[in-house]
Amino acid sequence: MRELDYIIVGGGIAGCCLAFQLAMRGRKLLMFDVHTEAAASSVAAGVVNPITGKRLAKSWRSDVAHEFAKRFYSALEAELRVSFYHPRKILQLYKSGEERELWESRSRDSSYAPMIGESFEPNTFCGLNDALGSRIIERSAWVEPPVLMSAFSSYFLGRGMLVREFFDVSKLRITESSLRYGELNSKRIVFCEGWRAVYNPYFSWLPYRPAKGEILTIEGSFELPEHIIHRGNWLMKCSKNLFRTGSTWDRERLDGSPTESAREALLASLSNFFDCRREFSVRSHEAGVRPCTATTRPHLGAHPADARILSFNGFGSKGFALSPYFARAFVWHIEDSKALDAEADLNRHTKKFYRQKLPAFKDGMAL
Ligand SMILES: Cc1cc2nc3c(=O)[nH]c(=O)nc-3n(C[C@H](O)[C@H](O)[C@H](O)COP(=O)(O)OP(=O)(O)OC[C@H]3O[C@@H](n4cnc5c(N)ncnc54)[C@H](O)[C@@H]3O)c2cc1C
């Protein structure tokens, strides 16, 4: 029997950030991760953006979480000896006069000041459609998901902390003294399965609203500024002649299959970035499902019937921006009894959505 402090189910960005911070504390853990359909982290863009949405709202907890993400990823780059975190400004191309006015009003708001940079007159950027002007957003970054996720995998595999196996939740055995799974005996289990939480018998009662997103990688020989360019969608240079653009939203078809309709929509929006016709070819087209929630806040904390069974999930469209900070808060919560951010604490949903009678577990039986 292998004795563990933690079993972690799911090795996307959420599970990896959490496992890494627990490993730093010397905890004995084993993470289960296989690629399941439509997992999000492997296809994500990895943009950290402090101002989001049509209302140009400050991204939730960006003040603390983005600063922490920067420090965490930079330290991780040194530890893993890879480069994946790139501070990159966003160049916002105005789509309409109303949008420009909204940006101007935000620039007069002192709470937005650190994030709002220089504004530019129309037609400043050669080749781009900036006919209505543009503006820089500061404090943004690009995390390269494939590089980071592959470095995380090597780190955990090399330390015997990761198995490439599907975790079959129906085989989890719960007794008063332990959580057993095959030859493993663990003090706690944390579920970080991304959108597949909707199938998890312990946490599917939480209000998830997963959303599929699709992204294109294109190849073309045109030049673009080094910024992440935003105009409804975003367009970003990844390497010489390679660019990514995205992304779509679909709450109906939750699968990992790229669709023709999303491809057409992305190609149509791509032409809006440029002031003339550009030649490019589509190199790849990917889809994933974001673990979005009804409240747009993560679902963190313990199961109402058993504090050893936990959820660290629900990062929606911001997993790369928020997971490092909330992984630290989560570790402080379970290991040092510090309170969770009340908006992210899954307890807030228990009264309304949790229907099991307590206690929910019988000795040795899963729910
Ligand atoms: C098109 C698109 C663009 C995005 N762009 C951005 C962006 O620019 N910035 C940003 O911050 N976020 C972005 N996101 C969101 C981001 O990808 C997610 O918030 C994040 O990846 C969620 O991470 P996760 O670890 O919770 O879930 P996932 O990445 O889905 O990881 C869950 C992992 O658990 C595995 N798993 C599940 N069940 C089991 C099981 N039973 N046994 C073993 N393994 C299991 C899955 O296969 C997967 O590997 C984007 C998402 C999409 C789809």
Specify the ligand 1 atom closest to the Cα of 322: 11
Tokens of 172: 């989890």
Q: How far is 261 from 256, CA to CA, in rounded Å?
A: 14
Q: How far is 234 from 153, CA to CA, in rounded Å?
A: 28
pLDDT at 181 (0 to 100): 98
Q: Is the pLDDT of residue 61 over 80?
A: yes
Question: Please, which residues bridge with residue 290 across strands?
Answer: 211
* Enclosing H/E stretch for 68: helix 62-80
Question: Please, which residues bridge with residue 281 across strands?
Answer: 219
Instruction: Indicate the average pLDDT of the chain.
Output: 94
- Does 39 sit in the ligand 1 pocket, CB within 6 Å? yes
Composition of the chain by helix, strand, coil, percent to 5: 30, 30, 40
pLDDT at 277 (0 to 100): 86
Q: How far is 27 from 25, CA to CA, in rounded Å?
A: 6
CA 101 to centroid of ligand 1, rounded, Å = 35
CA 294 to centroid of ligand 1, rounded, Å = 17
**Mean pLDDT, residues 341-346 taken together:** 98
Of 97, 75, 94, 96, nearest to 84 by C-alpha is 75
Given a contact cutoff of 8 angstroms between Cβ atoms, the answer to whether 210 and 198 are in contact is yes
The DSSP annotation for 76-90 comes to HHHHHT---EEE--E
Q: How far is 365 from 361, CA to CA, in rounded Å?
A: 6
* Enclosing H/E stretch for 106: helix 97-107
Q: Is the pLDDT of residue 352 over 70?
A: yes
Tokens of 56: 């140009």
- Does 40 sit in the ligand 1 pocket, CB within 6 Å? yes
- Does 290 sit in the ligand 1 pocket, CB within 6 Å? yes
Question: Please, which residues bridge with residue 231 across strands?
Answer: 233
pLDDT at 54 (0 to 100): 83
CA 122 to centroid of ligand 1, rounded, Å = 38
Looking at the chain, the whole-number percentage of residues with pLDDT higher than 70 is 97
Q: How confident is the model at residue 231 (pLDDT cuts 50, 70, 90)?
A: very high
Q: Is the pLDDT of residue 358 over 60?
A: no
- Does 315 sit in the ligand 1 pocket, CB within 6 Å? yes
Q: What angle, rounded to 10 degrees, do the helices at 145-158 and 62-80 form?
A: 60
Q: What angle, rounded to 10 degrees, do the helices at 319-336 and 13-24 form?
A: 40
pLDDT in tens, 309-334: 999 999 999 999 999 999 999 999 99
pLDDT in tens, 178-192: 899 999 999 999 999
Cβ atoms < 10 Å from Cβ of 195? 26
Q: What is the DSSP letter of 356?
A: P
Q: How far is 83 from 311, CA to CA, in rounded Å?
A: 30
* Phi (first) and psi of residue 360, to 5 degrees: -90, -15
Find the radius of gyration of the CA atoms of the chain: 22
pLDDT at 296 (0 to 100): 97
The alpha carbon of 301 is separated from its chain's Cα centroid by a whole number of angstroms, namely 18
Specify the ligand 1 atom closest to the Cα of 215: 1
CA 209 to centroid of ligand 1, rounded, Å = 14
Q: How far is 224 from 243, CA to CA, in rounded Å?
A: 9
CA 13 to centroid of ligand 1, rounded, Å = 6
pLDDT at 359 (0 to 100): 43
- Does 249 sit in the ligand 1 pocket, CB within 6 Å? no
Q: Is the pLDDT of residue 276 over 90?
A: no
- Higher per-residue pLDDT: 145 or 53: 145
Domains of the chain: 2-43+146-207+295-353 (3.50.50.60), 89-139 (no CATH), 211-290 (3.30.9.10)
CA 12 to centroid of ligand 1, rounded, Å = 5
- Does 46 sit in the ligand 1 pocket, CB within 6 Å? yes
pLDDT at 228 (0 to 100): 97
pLDDT at 161 (0 to 100): 98
- Does 193 sit in the ligand 1 pocket, CB within 6 Å? yes
Question: Please, which residues bridge with residue 225 across strands?
Answer: none
Q: How far is 240 from 217, CA to CA, in rounded Å?
A: 12
- Determine the straight-line distance between the first and last CA of the chain, rounded to whole angstroms: 23
**Mean pLDDT, residues 236-263 taken together:** 96
CA 210 to centroid of ligand 1, rounded, Å = 11
Q: How far is 150 from 157, CA to CA, in rounded Å?
A: 10
